[in-house]
Every structure is written in C-alpha cells, then in structure tokens.
Structure 1
Amino acid sequence: MHEIQPYEWTHPPLGKWLLTFGIRLFDMTPYGWRFMAAVCGTLMVPVFYAAARAMFRSTRYAFIAALLLVLEGFHLVHSRMANVDIFGVTFTILMYTFMYKYGEKKWESGGFGRSFGYLALSGIFFGCASAVKWNYMYGGAGLAVLLFLALYRRWRESRWEYGSAYFKKLTLTLLSCLILFVAVPAGIYAASYIPYEKATKADDGLKDLPRYQKDIYNYHKGVKEKHPYSSKWYTWPEMLRPVWYYGGKDLAKGDAQSIAAIGNPLVWWGGLAAMLLSWWLGARNRDKIVLTIAVMYLSFYVPWMVSPRSITFLYHYFPMVPLLILSIVWMLRWLEQRWYYGRTFTALVIAGAAVLFVWFYPVLTGMTISREWMNFGIRWLPSWGF
C-alpha cells in the first residue's frame, strides 16, 4: 500500500501483516500501528474465557480467569503497542484450548469423527502462532504430549468399548496429524511470506524460504550485544527485570512518565506459587487441568533454558502468564470446595489484583506522576529500572 521496502525480517511476517490492517484503516499513524494489537488484546479476553470455560466447565471460574487477565498489566501494555506478541499468545491459547477439547472428546457415538474438527483447529492456530514468532513454535512439543496422552486415554477406554477398532482409529488419527500439525502449519507459515515477497524489491519467491529461515536463525544466535533491559530465563518468574518501553520527555521538574512491561505482582508471584502447589496437589489425583497447564508451561519455558540466543527479555515469558492465571483459578476452586471461607478468599484475591492493577496503572499507560512516588511507591525492586 505504501510501497515501503520491508526491512524487518528477524521474525516470520504474520504478526506484522496483521498490524497492517490497522494501517490500512487509519494510515501510517501511531493509532494505525497499534489498532490491531488493541483489537487482538481485547479479543483475547473472551478467547481466554472460552478456554477457561472448556477446562473448568464453570461460568463462574471462567469469568474469574477472564477478569484476572483484564487486571494483568503485561496483557494491557502489549495490547496498547505495535507488538506482535499479543497475536502469538492469543493463538497459543486457542491451539491449546482445542487440543484440550480434543482430549475430552470420547470416540463413541460419532465422537471420533467430530474430534477431528478440534485437531484441525488446533493445527491451524499452531501454524498461525509459529508464523508470528519462532518461540511460539515451542508449544508444538506440548501439543504432541497432550495428543499422546489423549490417545492413551482412548486406548484405556477401548479395552472395554472398542476392541481392535482402536488401532484403526489410531492409525487414521496419526496420519491425519501429519497433515494437520505438519503440512497445514507449514502451509500457513509459507503463506505468511507472500505479502513480504510482494512488497520487497528483490526478486524473491517461495524458493527463498529456506534462506529466510537460515537468516533468522543466524541473527538470533548471533545477538550478543548487551541490552540494559535484557533478562535471563531464570529471572522471569520473579519478574526481576521488566522491559522499559517509554520514558517521558520535557517533563516538569520532579515529574516522571514511563511505560514498562510489568505484570500484576499478585498474578505473577501468586500465580507461580499457585501453579507449583497445584502441581503437587493435582499429581496425586492425576488432574487433567493441572497436567495440561504443566505441559503447556514447560513446553514454552524449558526451550529457553537451552536456546542459543543469549539476549532475552521478560516478554518472552508472556505465553506463560495465562497459565499462571489458570493455576490461580484452579487453586481457588480447590479451596472453595474444601474451606468454608473459600469464596471469601477468592473475593480477596480478586480485590487484591484490582488494587495492584490500579496501583501500577501509571507505569502501564504512561501517566505523569511524581518522581518521588515512582521511586518509592512503584519501583518495588532495585532492578525495576523505570
């Protein structure tokens, strides 16, 4: 549309292509750049509600999950800027939701045929997530684990209900997965480069896709320059180094203005505690929700422990934030089922999240506040540099 030579090639193009729809509507303006991220960030709330509803089978707990997402600062910051991670995280929520629904779909009474719809949707959104950034591709390992766990449950059921027919269905499922989780995502990934190739002045085509991927890998492997707001993977759960995106200029003496990618402390720190405790409690009963959250979390987190990229940032932890919320909701449900004051505790947790959201709102949105309050009231840790 603007005939501008593409210059950013360090990630696949789908997220950047999605941002262009806002530019088409509102031209090359700050509002146009950010519009689609805001749309996706807004849509993430009902998507996450549906995901929690599918897992907990409760409108109440789904509402609590969606409300905690609304009160989560990291989600708000990335919904208000031209950043592609908001797309990738939304796609990962969808791909895991449909895989979870597939695992819950039994094969009797026509369920086998209908279950392929969930597999297809999971594969499609896996392809979309992969075409935003490579790190969302890590979730594919978790999808594979959840798939095989679902097939194992179907095998246990088949001993009583399906007999040898199970192996025919298993073969058909695995062959279908080669298409749905290999061919389809690869096709989506390749198609995401079509707008890029049309815009570039170079005589490139799909034949050049392997070279693009080699260039991306070499770039990320070769990033060695130090960055003041980079952080190592083992510091992310503690939120030790938020990324500072914006600092105000020409402010009156004593004023401060910042935008930082910082999460809600109750969600991040409380969510980490809830997740670890839920793993211990859920393991005893082989709880499927806890198992799903654990598989998802580890599939996104563990690869960063061995990644060749040496400069990383807190926003790489973004896919794990919805999982922290789901862990909180699981623990709240567990307490409510066993403790007379469980619902009161749930109300206190939500109120605490709301208070902290308002508390940190100035540094989430760039409001002008006093430097004294920024340093004393909002910078809780010395490593929070904003």
Structure 2
Amino acid sequence: MTDRPVNDFDELVGHATAPVEAPARAPQHSPVRVARLAPLDAWWGRVLATPARQRAWRWGGPFLVTLVAAFLRLWHLGHPDSLVFDETYYVKDAWTLHNLGYEASWPGDVDAKFAAGQTDVFLRSAEFIAHPPLGKWIISLGMAVTGPDNPAGWRLSTAVVGIIAVLLVTLITTHLLKSTVLGVLAGFFMAIDGQAIVLSRVSLLDNFVMFFALLAFGAILLDRHRTQRRLDAWVAKRDSQGRDLAWGPALWNRPWLVVAGLMLGAATGVKWNGAFFLAIFAVYTIAVDMAARRRIGVEFWGTGTIFRQGPVSFLLMVPIAAATYIASWTGWFATKGGYYRTWVEDGGDRWKGALAWVPDVVQNFWHYQAGIYAFNVGLSTPHPYQANPLLWLLMQRPTSMYYLGLSAGQDGCASDRCGQAITGIANPLIWYAAVAACLYLCYRLVRYREWHVGAILIGAGAGFLPWLMYLDRTVFQFYTIAFEPYLIMGLAAALGVILGRRTDDIDRRLSGIRVVGIVVILSIVLSVFYYPMWTAIQENWSFISLHYWIPSWK
C-alpha cells in the first residue's frame, strides 16, 4: 500500500490522456523516460479525453449508481402486502397523524384489516409513542400520495430517502477523497448492500435518522471548505497589511452550519439517537474551528479561539437543532388529543415555586418527554432478534423482518418447503470489508493525520459509540444503518489506497486494480445471491438455508 493519501485520484487516473513523460526541455541527447501505464489507465484516459466527457462522468457516474439504487428499492415495493415487523406501529401511527395530528390508538388485531383496506377504523384516544413524530409524518406523505390501502405507499417515503442517501454517499465521498471514481464506488456499495436495501423497503424510522445525519455531515464538510477559504483570505489580508490580527476573523456568517443544525434537529425529531450525531458533530465542528485558527497563528488559549469562535459553532447548531426538534411536535401542540396533551388540566402535578409561571402546555410537553425518556432507557424486554452493540460490527444477529413459510403446492411452491424472507443481512463482503477498512483508517489517522479519514471516523463513531452506554437495552442490528454510510466511505478510502495512482510502478498498480476489481465483482455476486432474502422473493428452503452462514443469522 502506498503511504500517501489518495486525494487526486481522478486527476491521475481519469483526466490524463497521455503517458507521463519527462519535461519537454530535457537535453537534446538525453533519453526520455515514458512511464508505462496499466491498460485500464490508458483506456480510461482516452475515455475522458475531453472536458465534456469529464463533466459527463462527474454527473453521469452518481446518476447511474442512484438509478441502480432506485431499481433495487422500488421494484415490487408493495410486496409483501402485509405490515412487516414494526410497520405495525409506524405505518398506523403515520396514518393517524395524517388524519388527527397526533398518534391515536387502534382496535386490537387490526393489522389484517388495515392491510385489507380498512384504514379508517382508528380510535380518537391518544397512543403513547416511543419516538418523536417526524419520521411518521414523512411516512404519511407516501401514504397520502398512493392511498393508505397501498402497501407500496406505506414504504414509498422510506424508499425515496434510501435512494437519495445513495446519491449523498456518492457526492460526499467524492468531495472527501477528491475522486469521482471512489465516490461512485462508495455509492455503488451503498446501492447494492442488503441492509441499506431492506431498510429502504420496510417502513421503519432508522433510514430517516441516517438520511438527516448524512445531510448534516455533508453540510458540515461544506462549512469547513467555505470557512477555510475565508481564513485563507484573512491570512492574505493580514500578511499584505503587515500586522498581527491576533483574534482572527469572526465567522458568524456560516449558512451551512445552520443547515447542519436543522438536519440534526430533524434526525432527533425522528429518533432520539439523532442527538448522538448532534453532540459529536457539534464538538467536532468546534474542534476543527479551533485547529484551523491555530494553524493561521491565533493563540490556542486566547480569547480569539475559545471565547469567540467556540460559541459561534455551538449557537449555529445546537439551539437551531432544539428548535427544529420542538417544531416536529407541531401536530401535538396544535391539537388537544395527543398523549399527555392536557396532563396538567386533567389533574397532573402543576409546577410550583419559581416555575409556576411556565404555561401548562410546556409542562405537559416536558412530562411527555420525560415519559418517553424513561421508556427508552428502561426498555429491556427480551426479543429473539435483539443484538448487543458490542457485536454489531461482527453482524452477529441480523433482524428477520418477515418470513412466510409455504408447503408444496401452496402459492406456487414447487418444493416440499418454500419461504419468503426479509432479513437484514448486509452484503457480507461489503460489511466486513468496511469494518476492516475503518480499523485500518484508525491507523492512518494516527500515522498521517489525514483530515478526511478523521471526518469519516467521526461519522461512524457518532452512530456507533454512544450505544455502548446502553448494553442492557433491547436494541437491534438494523440500528447500524445510521452509521453504515460512513463505514462504506471508509471502505472506498481504503480501496483507494490499495488502488494507488497511475504513476505507481505498473506491477503494483495492476495488483491494486485486480484487488479492487475482485472486491467489486464478488460484492455484485453476493448481492444477486442475497437479493431474494432482502425482498421476500419466494424460494425453496434449501436455497434459503444457504444464506445463513453463521448459526445466529437464522
């Protein structure tokens, strides 16, 4: 592996049109050395020989992987035509939100009736909910478009978000690694991965957490790029004036940080683990700001860094995120039917003393939030598919979302035993290679201080590490979708190191191309093999059993 980060891969691979030669001014009688190019490099250089082709690749590559993602997520989206796993909560909650503005109760054993089209049998009494309402509001948009009796409509919003997430992974990786090739590679892995496909075809909330956190991550990267340009301009001005401006520039005008705050508030408004991303991304932004100002000569412990810039990053993210979170409860505030909406009025303990002035609606809201917190922290009900966070990276217990067993002659079953399964098994090669790649990136971060590696690891850590505080809570493997994009970015970064540069020794270069090609081809083969297990395509039991490589996957 090369010791240099791959930051200009496209310039060295995709945008070159001729072999690398010695300078044209070499002495007349000295030999001119021409570097041997790998055949693929030479061909790729010819393909992107003009600026128009280069533009077509920069736009067309992301578009193609997004198209692949759309097909894999939208094909036969309405199957199965029954509520799958926790869709029994979120889909029905979404429909009562759409109709009432709050989550209402349903009669017992109503799932079959709901799937059959009886979607107006909900009650008016409020239902206690474990997660904020924003994700369910988004689910309701798809139901409003297609009708609540259409199973594809239940899942449409989740699928659309999953498709856009693939495009985001592609664009963010391209920005981080300065390579459209590696960006497209990351997007392709996200497009064909099993967990990403399953979570885009089942109407749960975790895909929305992933999506909003990913948008925030992209916004933070754009803010970093914009801020660095402004700092560079300030340094040039300082040097030209020949004076020491010790405080550095005040950077309040940072619209991308505002966007990040909005997106992180939205992530928290879907599920509270969005707050993990908010906390870690906010600290990361402050640390990056301090480091950037230190590089331009501002004293590390001076007021120019800690007391001036730190609050800027905080105020442009955290209060905005909090306001966004509260806004996601607009339906609860605007109606009187929500759970605990009139708790004080109905006899609850009104606050006294210095807090007696607080409006009843705020007291009711706080009481509800406290109840949700107590429920989530104390959730330890055993479940056959619960997965300890310590084992998440090993993918020890993927979640079975749906299984329908069939006998010979039943629904076209031509074997003694058939089945239709939706199982959240990630593409094994992509998953385990991505985990290994991120472990390798930890080494590169320590060894080379590569900022793009640090950013990727911050994203992965924000989605994973806080869960280690809740080892006794009932949690599931599919929660890892929230940080899977960063694992895949890490895989692309590591493959970029393996791939090397077109100017490398040709034998080393060819070996890198072969390794990356083998990873891509095997990933495609495994996705084709596992796709029936991700989409409930009916297969015989012998074929289904081949997919359970580890006993705990069953």
**Length-normalised TM-score, structure 2:** 0.65
Aligned equivalent of 1:12: 132
Q: Larger helix proportion, structure 1 or 2? A: 1
Task: Give the direction of change, closer, same or farther, for the CA distance of 1:39–1:72 in structure 2 (3 Å limit).
Answer: same
Counterpart amino acid of residue 380 in structure 1: W
Counterpart amino acid of residue 385 in structure 2: Y
Aligned equivalent of 1:180: 316
Q: Distance in 1 between matches of 2:440 and 2:467?
A: 23
Find runs of 4+ consecutive structure 1 residues off by over 6 angstroms. none
Task: Give the direction of change, closer, same or farther, for the CA distance of 1:8–1:257 in structure 2 (3 Å limit).
Answer: farther
Shift of the alpha carbon at 1:199? 5.6
Q: Does 1:384 align with 2:481?
A: no
Shift of the alpha carbon at 1:222? 2.4
Shift of the alpha carbon at 1:197? 4.2
1:285 equivalent among 426, 448, 452: 448
**Structure 1 regions of 5+ residues with no counterpart?**
none
Aligned equivalent of 2:37: none
**Equivalent position SS for 1:359:** helix
1:208 equivalent among 351, 354, 364: 364
1:118 equivalent among 256, 277, 290: 256
1:374 equivalent among 523, 528, 544: 544
Q: Distance in 2 between matches of 1:80 and 1:331?
A: 29
Shift of the alpha carbon at 1:172? 4.8
CA offsets, 1:259-282, max 9 Å, x none? 011111111111111111121133
Counterpart mapping for 1:305-320 below 5 A: 305-307=468-470, 310-320=473-483
Q: Distance in 2 between matches of 1:47 and 1:14?
A: 21
Aligned equivalent of 2:71: none
CA offsets, 1:122-176, max 9 Å, x none? 11111111111111211123213321331233223321xx789x95576554333
1:21 equivalent among 103, 124, 141: 141
Shift of the alpha carbon at 1:321? 1.2
Counterpart amino acid of residue 141 in structure 2: F
Q: Distance in 2 between matches of 1:273 and 1:130?
A: 29
Q: Does 1:45 align with 2:169?
A: no
Q: Distance in 2 between matches of 1:65 and 1:112?
A: 36
Between stretches 327-336 and 109-118, larger displacement belongs to 109-118
Counterpart mapping for 1:205-354 below 5 A: 205-252=361-408, 253-307=416-470, 310-337=473-500, 339-340=508-509, 341-354=511-524
* Higher Rg: 2
Q: Distance in 2 between matches of 1:293 and 1:62?
A: 13
Q: Is the 8 A contact 2:250 2:308 kept in 1?
A: no
CA offsets, 1:229-281, max 9 Å, x none? 00101111111111111111554331121101111111111111111112113
Shift of the alpha carbon at 1:353? 1.1
**Equivalent position SS for 1:139:** helix
Counterpart mapping for 1:152-163 below 5 A: 152-159=290-297
Between stretches 282-291 and 196-205, larger displacement belongs to 196-205
**Equivalent position SS for 1:134:** coil
Counterpart amino acid of residue 15 in structure 1: G
Q: Does 1:100 align with 2:270?
A: no
Q: Distance in 2 between matches of 1:334 and 1:34?
A: 38
Q: Is the 8 A contact 1:229 1:313 kept in 2?
A: yes
Q: Does 1:356 align with 2:356?
A: no
2:184 equivalent among 63, 83, 86: 63
Aligned equivalent of 2:25: none
Q: Distance in 1 between matches of 2:362 and 2:400?
A: 37
**Equivalent position SS for 2:402:** strand
Aligned equivalent of 2:50: none
Q: Is the 8 A contact 2:189 2:488 kept in 1?
A: yes
Shift of the alpha carbon at 1:109? 2.8
Task: Give the direction of change, closer, same or farther, for the CA distance of 1:288–1:275 in structure 2 (3 Å limit).
Answer: same
Shift of the alpha carbon at 1:179? 2.8
Shift of the alpha carbon at 1:226? 0.9
**Equivalent position SS for 1:7:** coil
**Equivalent position SS for 1:237:** helix
CA offsets, 1:185-209, max 9 Å, x none? 1111111111244466254445422
**Structure 2 regions of 5+ residues with no counterpart?**
1-97, 105-125, 235-248, 343-360, 409-415
Shift of the alpha carbon at 1:211? 1.4
**Equivalent position SS for 1:262:** coil
Q: Distance in 1 between matches of 2:513 and 2:336?
A: 57
Q: Distance in 2 between matches of 1:9 and 1:197?
A: 15
Q: Distance in 1 between matches of 2:495 and 2:213?
A: 24
Aligned length: 381
Aligned equivalent of 1:79: 200
Q: Is the 8 A contact 2:251 2:309 kept in 1?
A: no
